[in-house]
A and B are shown apart, each in its own frame.
Chain A
Amino acid sequence: MRKLKITFMVGAIMAMAFTTTQAQDVDEIISTYLENIGGVDALKSLKGMKITAKVNQGGMEIPLDIYQMADGRQMTSISFQGMTIKQGVFDGETLWGTNFQTMKAEKSDSEATSNQKLDANDFPDALIDYKEKGYTAELLGKEDMDGSETFKVKLVKEPRMIDGVEVDDITYYYFDTEAFIPLAQESEINQGPQKGSIQQIKFSDYQEVDGLYFPFSMTQGIKDGMSQPIIIDAIELNPEVADADFAFPEE
């Protein structure tokens, strides 16, 4: 595993040496990135992943198990005091979560559910086959991200419905110009009191799991504001899951 990582690093540096001499185009950046994290074929053969992580909130460590499946199913299960609460669960049709007061499952609103369906084709990475999916990507130029030089890439996915109005779904990626992997990702918040603010997720601690590379540390927050780190302890590829885990529990 360590050997692989070194090879990868060397590969990244070599890629840099070869590519920085010429102008970058967005497809080169994306394809180099996908190659660097394990290659499109390997990524596409993934059936799902389970991310074991924790967040720290005011001294309280909250363990999370995040499931993401190739067919769009997903689930975050949170453990508190020996009990499990599920949030952001999607079985392909219904998006739901546990109500903290009643501990019972409740469905998300229909707009959120339809928008969730749009993400079903983005596993494990929205950038794979982005053109075939009808997305557009554009290189906006180079930008500094916390002292590192990055390529800023704009990805426009399927439009979403927000409060009854169709809006573009835009994500900005900041690819490190040496390693060709994203250091951060930004998007405009398009609903709620923070609407118009920029949400930012920073990535680091890229590590190899069965030949694929994933960031094992992410920090999410409002740009130039407060942020919340998430530490990933393990990533399991192609985990065993049961349909019942994702299904909305009918009482």
Chain B
Amino acid sequence: MKKAYLSIALSLGAIVSTFAQDIVLKGDALFGGLQARHIGPALMSGRIIDLETHPTNDKVLYVGTAGGGVWKSSNGGSSFVPIFDEHTQCIGQIALDPSNPDKNIWVGTGEIWTRNSVSVGDGLYKSTDGGVNFKKVGFENSERISSIEINPNNSQEMYVGVLGALWGDSEERGVFKSSDGGATWEKILYIDQKTGCGDVILDPNDPNTLYASMWEFRRTGWSFESGGNNSALYKSTDAGKTWNKIHNGFPAGKLGRIAVAVAPSDSKRIYAVLETEKDKDKGLYRSDDAGASWELLNGDFGLVVRPFYFSRIVVDPKNPDVVIKGGLFGSISRDGGKTFRNLGNMHADIHDFAFNINNSDQMFAGTDGGVYRSWDGGNTMEIVANLPVSQFYHISVDNEEPYNIYGGLQDNGSWYGPSQSPGGIEARDWNVVGVGDGFRVLRHPTKRILYSEMQGADNVWRYDMDKNQTKTIQPLPVKGDPKLRFNWNAPMAISDHQPDRFYMGSQFLHKSEDMGNTWEIISPDLTTNDKSKQQQENSGGLSKDNSGAENHCTIFTIAESPVDQNVIWVGTDDGNVQVTQDGGKTWTNTTPNISGLPANTWVYHIEASVHGKGTAYAVFDGHTSNDKTPYAYKTTDFGQTWTSIISEDVYGFVRSIQEDYESENLLFLGTEFGLYATIDGGKNWSRFNKGIPPVAVHFLDLQKQTNDLVLGTHGRGIIIVDDISPMRQLSQEVLAKNFHFLETKPTIIQESGGFGGTATEREFVGRNRSSAAKIMYYMKKRHIFGKMSLEIQDMDGNTLTEISPSKSKGINIVTWSYNIRPPRMAKGKTFSFGGFTPARVPAGTYKVVLTKGKETFETTIELINDPKSDRTEADRMTLHKQTMDIYNTCEDLAYMVYELDEIVAKAEEVSKNGGSKTAKPVISELTALKETLVITTGDNYVGSAEPQLREKLATLYSKIAQGFDPANASELENLALLTERFDKAKADFAKIKSKRVAKMEKFMAGKSMEPVKLKTREEYLKDQ
């Protein structure tokens, strides 16, 4: 007994101590009903890595993208749906099990076209249900999987080619084999920590024969090296037990990336494209004896261009002489590789192809700008317009209503588009404001002017959005300046204090006070200026590749404090966080004050805080030094001390951070694997997965008026989380409650609408923000049992409408489109479509009553009129009165027709019971009257009868109720006409009742028949 008492006391103690701790919500439990919306754009789409067809069903096509996941088409490439949204979006290879292609789908993650901006993968995934669910099966550290080959006769036997880490040594490379369907793996071809497998190919006609191209390669933040003595093409004829180089006919010396393909219709025919030491040896080699000997056929530009980016050869499944090679434009040969011509016009930089299995004239191409289809052998290409996989490097927002989003895309220029648009955000809404690769686009704070740029600040444009005029304004070296080093993604910044001020960063900070017309350098070289990292002309390895993408020792981020314009932060790609407190006269490198951060880690973004002039956040990205650790720090003392604000919850390196303007503890983090949020200043982070896949989030911005969090993703375009303000309210006090209404801003009654969009059926259309009023609450637990309902009432407690409440744990959001139900309409033969229009309530305060089991919770919400509208208060009152008057008239008519129908029904009964003499006139006169009140014949379409009073009233009601202006003169005259007609009908009805019906009732009384039983008007309306 005593023992029991003790144990109870102990457990009570445990409970008490648990209570003393902070309540921590993680994941969905925190975000609840918040839901992101994707707005594309899709018109320029994004980089495609891999295309995979189904072996027997030509309607099925899979697309693996650089940063936007896996998409599946079931209609021959007409439209696509994403099927890999719970995993990393960076794809290397997709494979279908030839024995079970509808069920077993493999996805190898990690882009294999290793440009500077590639993301990373995190393993091999398998679906056994046609792509509904995927599970990771291993290769955690593979970073890039280039090939997945499955024995067509034995699903258990498969090979995986791992290209491996791009920025560092790794042993998880080479060719791997599984004999148990992927449960266990054996490394069967491995060279060294720097050499990965570019391709492993299974001879489709002999599963014991394999080809593997091995590639020695390495990238750093400032260089790229392709090729070495370890690059080679291997062959195995014993299912991977032994491998031999097959170089008979290849030049001696170092090799680079080797593209290889076996003709599906002729196993002896092999194509390989070699990157070699000498230019004369580069090109397409062909073997007609299964690799025993090779002959160089063609060294055209289209074949040898940028092997790290374009090493895919695809052979027509039916004809071994038809071969396509990826490249700047894509090349096709119809003579076995002797000669090539370019494919039809499409977006440049073509990475992969797929032929229709049944008709080789139909093909698909994957480019830097989406998937293209061709029906004529690649002559004419047409883009798939519903793949929103655009890759933003950066985004920003303005303060217009609706606000616009600006940003630049990988190989797809610079753009801006609206956060909402009639009918949804679609292709026509986007405006191009820069060419080449696009990066940062910033809107002038007060003028209709924006700044945009292309790679390496080769051009920086000032663009007048109204006049459509462009001026180039980038800072150029002047006398005495060294060479200016601009990053590929060169930083620019504007000022909260001086609207015309504009900053750019090379190794120096450049400032202009006149929108870029004149420039002044206001810093010394803020980088490490490490000369060994500035040898870009030697970059590329066997194929020189000095595109500017590897420019290093540059400024990457600039932030002027919103609190004090003399405080400016600068972060460099070689790890310096510099700050000035005097507008650039003196600078302090605060990096030595950051603990736990490896030297020279890329400063990806600095956010100067609104919460204090010495407060800033800095995030660091070490992935180009092979360090994928997340780093985020905060300072409140101008960088004298930095505190890490990362927790173990964060997976993936960090590229951006956004603070909330109101709650200092609310922060958002853009990582390589999605969006994270914290409500406790970084002690705990949760990944936001409500509609946001683990996509690389390159930049975040918070729109000040709407509190919308806008994500610039590198693979899924722009994603918006509308109104994050409820997250500000999740204090410990709120979290401790079972139920709590969160405050909402007054809702503006939207007066604008328009006629919708112009998108065709197969174009992507981004969702709009809901214009409805929001009711938000927090629940500690999900509601499962018992009734939970929500009513909107006027302030007198009259119910206006019932809404289905959301029941999630965490934040719940319910919307009300500030309408009450449409009027009850009289029953007719057909519908009165105008009568489906709900009536809008006027601006004001409304009660929200939520009932959860026995408990009732109440709050109020406020509707306000659009302050920008020029409509007067008096007009609005008039409109509301007119709307409700006709609304009530419609219901009066409905009740009258009900009464009439009931009397006719009774009259028919009387008629059958010997009272036909008194009943017949009732029936005939009332029927005649009814025919003037509602349609009693015809259908709902072109078989429609002539509209009667109900239809005419409803049409007029609908016009007035949907509008925002009081009824016009014509409408008022029409109303008078209808009112007069209704008055006459009422009089006629009264007359028939007093004469014919009264007579019938007398007869009924004499026969002791039940009189007509009518519901009251109120009962009738309620029951409808």
Do B821 and A60 have beta carbons less than 8 Å apart? yes
CB of A23 closer than 8 Å to a CB of B: no
Question: Contacting chain B: which of A64-72, A88-96, A121-129, A140-148?
Answer: A140-148
Interface string of B927-955 (1 = CB under 8 A from A): 00000000000011101000000000000
CB of B681 closer than 8 Å to a CB of A: no
CB of A229 closer than 8 Å to a CB of B: yes
Do A206 and B72 have beta carbons less than 8 Å apart? no
CB of A139 closer than 8 Å to a CB of B: no
Contacts of A115 in B (CB 8 A): none
With beta carbons under 8 angstroms apart, the residue of A170, A179, A196 that contacts B129 is: A170
With beta carbons under 8 angstroms apart, the residue of A5, A179, A188, A219 that contacts B132 is: A188
Question: Contacting chain A: which of B13-21, B777-785, B876-884, B988-996?
Answer: B777-785
Interface string of A169-181 (1 = CB under 8 A from B): 0101000100101
Q: Which of B785, B789, B836 has the most CB of A within 10 A?
A: B785
In the complex, chain B residues 65-87 whose Cβ is within 8 Å of any chain A Cβ:
72-75, 79-81, 83, 85
Q: Which B-chain residue is minimally distant from A179 (CB atoms)?
A: B784
Bound Cα distance A94, B782 (Å): 40
Do A60 and B785 have beta carbons less than 8 Å apart? no
- Shortest distance from the beta carbon of B686 to any chain A beta carbon, whole Å: 10
Do B808 and A102 have beta carbons less than 8 Å apart? no
- Shortest distance from the beta carbon of A6 to any chain B beta carbon, whole Å: 10
Do B940 and A147 have beta carbons less than 8 Å apart? no
Contacts of B750 in A (CB 8 A): none
Contacts of A20 in B (CB 8 A): none
Do B129 and A154 have beta carbons less than 8 Å apart? yes
CB of B117 closer than 8 Å to a CB of A: no
Contacts of A5 in B (CB 8 A): 785-786
Do B691 and A224 have beta carbons less than 8 Å apart? yes
Do A81 and B827 have beta carbons less than 8 Å apart? yes
- Shortest distance from the beta carbon of B676 to any chain A beta carbon, whole Å: 16
- Shortest distance from the beta carbon of B851 to any chain A beta carbon, whole Å: 11
Contacts of A194 in B (CB 8 A): 81
CB of A24 closer than 8 Å to a CB of B: no
Do A56 and B803 have beta carbons less than 8 Å apart? yes
Q: Which A-chain residue is minimally distant from B73 (CB atoms)?
A: A196
CB of B807 closer than 8 Å to a CB of A: yes
CB of A193 closer than 8 Å to a CB of B: yes
With beta carbons under 8 angstroms apart, the residue of A79, A170, A198, A205 that contacts B807 is: A205
CB of A103 closer than 8 Å to a CB of B: yes
Bound Cα distance A208, B819 (Å): 32
Query: Known contacts being A101-B939, A207-B785, A224-B85, is A146 close to B809, with CB within 8 Å?
Result: yes
CB of A58 closer than 8 Å to a CB of B: yes
Contacts of A193 in B (CB 8 A): 75, 79, 761
Query: Known contacts being A147-B27, A204-B807, is A196 close to B939, with CB within 8 Å?
Result: no
Interface string of A156-196 (1 = CB under 8 A from B): 00000000000000101000100101010000100001111
Contacts of B821 in A (CB 8 A): 59-61
Contacts of A224 in B (CB 8 A): 35-36, 85, 690-691
Interface string of B796-819 (1 = CB under 8 A from A): 000001111001111000000101
Do A217 and B807 have beta carbons less than 8 Å apart? yes
Do B940 and A102 have beta carbons less than 8 Å apart? yes
CB of B250 closer than 8 Å to a CB of A: no
Do B827 and A207 have beta carbons less than 8 Å apart? no
In the complex, chain A residues 197-214 whose Cβ is within 8 Å of any chain B Cβ:
197-198, 202, 204-207
Do A219 and B804 have beta carbons less than 8 Å apart? yes
CB of A244 closer than 8 Å to a CB of B: no
- Shortest distance from the beta carbon of A37 to any chain B beta carbon, whole Å: 11
Do A217 and B804 have beta carbons less than 8 Å apart? yes
CB of B32 closer than 8 Å to a CB of A: yes
Do A56 and B130 have beta carbons less than 8 Å apart? no
Bound Cα distance A196, B133 (Å): 12
Do A102 and B782 have beta carbons less than 8 Å apart? no
Bound Cα distance A61, B821 (Å): 6
With beta carbons under 8 angstroms apart, the residue of A8, A80, A148, A229 that contacts B782 is: A148
Bound Cα distance A207, B74 (Å): 40
Q: Which A-chain residue is minimally distant from B814 (CB atoms)?
A: A229
Do A100 and B940 have beta carbons less than 8 Å apart? yes
With beta carbons under 8 angstroms apart, the residue of B32, B784, B810, B831 that contacts A81 is: B831
Query: Known contacts being A179-B784, A224-B690, A231-B804, is A148 close to B831, with CB within 8 Å?
Result: no
Contacts of A195 in B (CB 8 A): 74-75, 81
Bound Cα distance A148, B72 (Å): 30
Do A196 and B785 have beta carbons less than 8 Å apart? no
CB of B830 closer than 8 Å to a CB of A: yes
Do A102 and B835 have beta carbons less than 8 Å apart? no
CB of A9 closer than 8 Å to a CB of B: yes
CB of B162 closer than 8 Å to a CB of A: no
CB of A230 closer than 8 Å to a CB of B: yes
CB of A82 closer than 8 Å to a CB of B: yes
Do B72 and A147 have beta carbons less than 8 Å apart? no
Do A188 and B28 have beta carbons less than 8 Å apart? no
Contacts of B825 in A (CB 8 A): 81-82
**How many residue pairs, one in A and one in B, have C-beta atoms under 8 Å apart?**
143
Do B943 and A102 have beta carbons less than 8 Å apart? yes
Do B817 and A204 have beta carbons less than 8 Å apart? no
CB of A83 closer than 8 Å to a CB of B: yes
- Shortest distance from the beta carbon of A2 to any chain B beta carbon, whole Å: 9
Contacts of B691 in A (CB 8 A): 224
Bound Cα distance A59, B961 (Å): 13
Contacts of B836 in A (CB 8 A): 60, 80
- Shortest distance from the beta carbon of B146 to any chain A beta carbon, whole Å: 26
Do A81 and B828 have beta carbons less than 8 Å apart? yes
CB of A246 closer than 8 Å to a CB of B: no
Q: Which A-chain residue is minimally distant from B785 (CB atoms)?
A: A206
CB of B826 closer than 8 Å to a CB of A: yes
Q: Which B-chain residue is minimally distant from A203 (CB atoms)?
A: B784
Bound Cα distance A102, B808 (Å): 42
Bound Cα distance A205, B807 (Å): 9
Contacts of A231 in B (CB 8 A): 789, 802, 804
Contacts of A58 in B (CB 8 A): 817, 819, 838
CB of B521 closer than 8 Å to a CB of A: no
Interface string of A107-129 (1 = CB under 8 A from B): 00000000000000000000000
CB of B822 closer than 8 Å to a CB of A: yes
Do A230 and B835 have beta carbons less than 8 Å apart? no
Bound Cα distance A59, B36 (Å): 23
Do B940 and A101 have beta carbons less than 8 Å apart? yes
Do B81 and A146 have beta carbons less than 8 Å apart? no
Interface string of B691-724 (1 = CB under 8 A from A): 1000000000000000000000000000000000
Do B787 and A147 have beta carbons less than 8 Å apart? no
Q: Which B-chain residue is minimally distant from A230 (CB atoms)?
A: B804
In the complex, chain A residues 26-79 whose Cβ is within 8 Å of any chain B Cβ:
56, 58-61, 79
CB of B832 closer than 8 Å to a CB of A: yes
Bound Cα distance A144, B28 (Å): 8
Q: Which A-chain residue is minimally distant from B102 (CB atoms)?
A: A167
With beta carbons under 8 angstroms apart, the residue of A59, A183, A188, A219 that contacts B784 is: A183
Contacts of B129 in A (CB 8 A): 154, 170
CB of B843 closer than 8 Å to a CB of A: no
CB of B597 closer than 8 Å to a CB of A: no
The 9 closest A-B pairs by CB, nearest first: A82-B827, A59-B838, A59-B819, A147-B29, A229-B804, A147-B809, A101-B941, A196-B81, A147-B28
A81-B824, A205-B807 given; 17 more Cβ-contact pairs under 8 Å:
A61-B802, A79-B1024, A81-B827, A83-B827, A104-B939, A146-B32, A147-B808, A148-B809, A179-B785, A183-B782, A183-B784, A193-B79, A193-B761, A196-B73, A204-B784, A219-B804, A226-B767
A residues in contact (CB < 8 Å) with B: 5, 8-9, 56, 58-61, 79-83, 100-104, 140, 144-148, 154, 170, 172, 176, 179, 181, 183, 188, 193-198, 202, 204-207, 216-217, 219, 224, 226, 229-231
Offer 26 A-B interface pairs, CB within 8 angstroms, sorted by A.
Answer: A5-B786, A8-B785, A59-B819, A59-B821, A80-B836, A81-B825, A81-B831, A83-B827, A102-B941, A104-B939, A146-B808, A147-B28, A147-B30, A147-B782, A147-B809, A148-B809, A172-B133, A188-B130, A194-B81, A196-B83, A204-B783, A204-B788, A205-B783, A217-B788, A224-B690, A231-B804
